[in-house]
Amino acid sequence: MTENLIDKVWEDRPPRPLAVVFTHPLEYSGKKWTDKVQEVRVAMEKAEAIAVVVTALDEVAWLLNLRGSDIAYNPVFFAYVIVSSHDVRLFIDQSKLDQSCRDHLMVGKAGGVKLYGYDEVVASVTDLANQNKPNKIWISNKSSQRFSQAVSKDQCITKLTPIALMKAIKNDTEVSGMRSAHIRDAVAVCEYFAWLEREVPKGHVTEVSGAHQLELYRKEQDNFVSLSFATISSTGPNGAVIHYRPTVETDRALCAEELYLCDSGGQYRDGTTDITRVLHFGTPSAYQRECLTRVLKGHIALCTAVFPDKTAGNRLDSFARSSLWEGGLDYLHGTGHGVGSFLNVHEGPQGVGIRSSPEPLQAGMFISDGILYL
């Protein structure tokens, strides 16, 4: 099948966003895009591939040190990249690139990026494969079927691109930025919780109004760009709904008799955050205390675990769950996921959980520790 059936029935499909892309400078990225490309080419040579087709939006953004706003909460933009041994091709609506981005990409200069239309990518991949048989083309196993169809199976390397792991292992500049972003983000969250302690007893704070207030505190912090996902502001039974998002229809008032769960995060120019806390504004029950204590023990066990380098995240999951298991409890949710550097708040390939990828954990990776039992 060569046509997308969804395209045939999606009659009111909105146009792609046309917001201008912006550069992610060296003070935040820690490495020039040209150096990243050279590292990709080294990986290509080892894999005996003549080109890598980059389809994941966060990989495109990370590789070229660019950011955008095409998808809510994620500073990415619609584009593809092909890295070969002799050039770098960017497939994008070129109206999204202002002169500063073109200068950054060295467009029109030796070693610079070559620009193509967004919809030209599949034809370019097909031509590249046909003109270089039997040489291999590297296409991620996370790419769409359309790309896998563009290259014959015997000519295709189908696995995660080298960029996925390069992006996951943060350099010193990115590590420093992530720490700074988390400190500023913590200030906003602490201000919010102090505000809740004052305002919840008055009886007028709801899930929706609380989420709005937290966003206002984040906006006061330096380098704030946006939230990293819609705030999960949930009280009482809503707190047990995974990835709950309060609406006017479900909005519930915070009170002193129920647990309040707040799972939120921010996008800052120097890092991305994801923080979850559970609070009680009155006197929690004995069972609630037991559950939260077992969760705390799980956090401590995972954070203090000593393990060999390159241990897979799914082998560490039992550290987080053991205290809950002792009490006959468990949670039907992953324990931790990778976090990007001013990129997607959910980043692979690393993670901690029963169903997580067996990707070995390495120094420089950032992983959330989200043990919950509600």
pLDDT (tens digit, 9 = 90+) per residue, 232-253?
999 999 999 988 999 999 999 9
With a cut of 70, say whether residue 1 has pLDDT above it: no
Which DSSP string do the residues of 73-94 spell out, in sequence order?
Answer: TB---S-EEEEESS-EEEES-G
pTM of the predicted protein model = 0.94
Q: What is the pLDDT of residue 131?
A: 92
pLDDT (tens digit, 9 = 90+) per residue, 163-174?
999 999 999 999
With a cut of 70, say whether residue 196 has pLDDT above it: yes
Round to whole Å and give the CA distance between 172 and 195: 35
Which DSSP string do the residues of 11-72 spell out, in sequence order?
Answer: TTPPPPP-PPPEE--HHHH-S-HHHHHHHHHHHHHHHTEEEEEE--HHHHHHHHTEE--SBT
Q: What is the pLDDT of residue 371?
A: 55
Question: Among 11-15, 66-70, 265-269, 285-289, whose mean pLDDT is lowest?
Answer: 11-15
pLDDT (tens digit, 9 = 90+) per residue, 46-85?
999 999 999 999 999 999 999 999 999 999 999 999 999 9
pLDDT (tens digit, 9 = 90+) per residue, 289-301?
999 999 999 999 9
Per-chain mean pLDDT for the chain? 94
Round to whole Å and give the CA distance between 36 and 167: 10
pLDDT (tens digit, 9 = 90+) per residue, 299-328?
999 999 999 989 999 899 999 999 999 999
With a cut of 50, say whether residue 374 has pLDDT above it: no
Q: What is the pLDDT of residue 276?
A: 94
At 138, is the pLDDT very low, low, confident or very high (cuts 50, 70, 90)?
A: very high
Q: What percentage of the chain reaches a pLDDT higher than 90?
A: 87
Q: What is the pLDDT of residue 370?
A: 63
Joined together, the tokens standing for residue 259 give 């647990």
Q: What is the pLDDT of residue 59?
A: 98
73 vs 334, higher pLDDT: 73
